[in-house]
């Protein structure tokens, strides 16, 4: 059985701790937190430390801290030659201190402390400096997820950009849609079945084929009416114009 130490107490760290705690094939032996009380609801006191120089021996150390802190934390580790990975989507493997064998264990999902997640569906993107370590990471990943990918640092950067589009920017579209509806006394609830259906659709249909609406139809009359409706809101009309143009441009290139 492989032993794991988690370093960090944030969002992702807490979800990982929960997932490993119930994984039969993994022994989560310790977690490090600067403020141990943040993990008190997840682990017994003897498994939590706030002294980074006293980490237990383990097969894998998973650093799950903010991107800016990864280099620092990895340099503070008092051992060498062990397998140390980070969980960041936008940070190269090389940020880790080279005293240890380096790797990446990136779960591609949006995590909230308030919302439970079924970790078995979360894609885990693996990268490692050494082939043998890759096998170890695969065992660790398989213990909590059914969805494992090999993604190198260059691909991971692309993936992180793609994730911003399909996640952060998508959520911002929800924000803008809810703004338009609330300003016109329309409950946001009315849009939720549509939101769900659009997301459902791309699980079975390539998004390019799923595109609907005035832009892709070339329905200039409706587009003009919408822009007229938005004429007093620069932010919304700029976005409407740019995205309408982008839909049409993409459509011309691809079809």
* Interface of this chain with its own copies, residues 15 to 34, rule: CB under 8 A: none
Quick one: which of 143, 148, 158, 91 has its CA closest to 123? 148
| φ, ψ of residue 176 in degrees (nearest 5) | -65, -40
Q: Kindly tell me which residue out of 40, 54, 219, 220 binds its own copies, with binding defined by CB under 8 A.
A: 219
* Closer residue to its own copies, CB minimum distance, 129 or 179: 179
Footprint of its own copies on residues 124-183 (CB under 8 A)? 125, 147, 149, 151, 154-155, 157-181, 183
Distance CA 188, CA 236 (A): 17
* Closer residue to its own copies, CB minimum distance, 32 or 240: 240
Q: How far is the CB of 161 from its own copies (least distance, A)?
A: 5
Q: How far is the CB of 89 from its own copies (least distance, A)?
A: 9
* Closer residue to its own copies, CB minimum distance, 98 or 167: 167
Q: Which stretch binds its own copies (CB under 8 A): 2-10, 17-25, 34-42, 196-204?
A: 196-204
Distance CA 152, CA 182 (A): 43
Q: Which H or E element spans position 7?
A: strand 2-7
Distance CA 23, CA 151 (A): 23
């Amino acid at each position: 059985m492989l032993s794991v130490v988690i370093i960090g107490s944030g969002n992702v760290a807490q979800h990982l701790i929960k997932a490993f705690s119930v994984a039969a094939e993994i022994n989560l032996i310790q977690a490090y937190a600067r403020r141990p009380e943040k993990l008190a609801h997840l682990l017994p006191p003897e498994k939590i430390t706030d002294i980074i120089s006293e980490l237990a021996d383990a097969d894998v150390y998973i650093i799950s801290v903010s991107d800016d802190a990864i280099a620092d934390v990895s340099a503070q580790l008092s051992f060498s030659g062990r397998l140390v990975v980070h969980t960041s989507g936008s940070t190269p493997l090389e940020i880790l201190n080279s005293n240890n064998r380096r790797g990446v264990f990136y779960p591609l999902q949006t995590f909230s402390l308030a919302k439970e997640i079924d970790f078995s569906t979360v894609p885990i993107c693996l990268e490692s400096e050494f082939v043998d370590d890759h096998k170890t990471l695969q065992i660790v990943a398989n213990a909590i997820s059914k969805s494992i990918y090999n993604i190198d640092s260059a691909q991971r950067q692309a993936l992180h950009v793609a994730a911003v589009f399909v996640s952060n920017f998508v959520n911002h579209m929800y924000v803008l849609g809810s703004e338009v509806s609330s300003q016109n006394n329309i409950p946001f609830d009315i849009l939720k079945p549509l939101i769900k259906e659009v997301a459902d659709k791309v699980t079975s249909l390539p998004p390019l084929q799923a595109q609907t609406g005035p832009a892709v139809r070339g329905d200039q009359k409706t587009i003009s009416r919408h822009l007229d409706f938005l004429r007093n809101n620069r932010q919304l009309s700029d976005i409407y114009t740019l995205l309408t143009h982008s839909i049409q441009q993409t459509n011309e290139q691809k079809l």
